[in-house]
Structure 1
């Protein structure tokens, strides 16, 4: 089984980048992209590595990681961490879960206008 091509990766990333600009992006959508790109039955470390690559690229494009709040005027609270801190925090949480996260796990992503 081969790694995804650059074209396949770019296509998935572009979709996610568009999504995160329009809405809150949860992990099930990102995990879905990982599944699409890697196929079934790949080692967890490989899945995690691709997940973090995607998240890193989204952060590079202006997305922020954060939590949803009960405050209707500020429903999203960004973590305010650096790219490396954010990736490290997510990697630790994913390792703790022992599986790819679902929407609602760990954090959400958005481009805060």
Structure 2
């Protein structure tokens, strides 16, 4: 399920998107739903979401909170990989409506 071409396409898209502008959580969640496929459970979608987040970290994408200051983007959490994934997982458990996942974190990567 996760090693397929669809997964790689979604991961590439999210990586490139994060290089152009800060990305809120919804596109990552949408990518996970696409990869998980129709009929997937919430637990399966969240597992794919965490895998995408883990792989985005491997690609140099930073995860954190959006800065309230104009001209600044994402303020990285500066947590270990394990702590970051746990914080994202806990955030997904906190909200019942996936639309509220926008409050979990933002993604940003340095432009090439």
Scaled to the shorter chain, the TM-score interval is 0.7 to 0.9
1:57 to 1:103, Cα distance in 2 relative to 1, 3 A? same
1:110 corresponds in structure 2 to 108
TM-score (norm 2): 0.86
1:49 matched to 2:47? yes
SS in 1 for 2:40: coil
1:47 to 1:99, Cα distance in 2 relative to 1, 3 A? farther
Higher helix share: 2
Structure 2 gaps, min length 5? none
1:69 matched to 2:67? yes
2:91 is aligned, of 87, 90, 93, to 93
RMSD, aligned α-carbons: 1.9
Spell out structure 1 runs of 4+ moving beyond 6 A. none
Structure 1 gaps, min length 5? none
Residues 91 and 101, structure 2, Cα contact 8 Å, conserved in 1: no
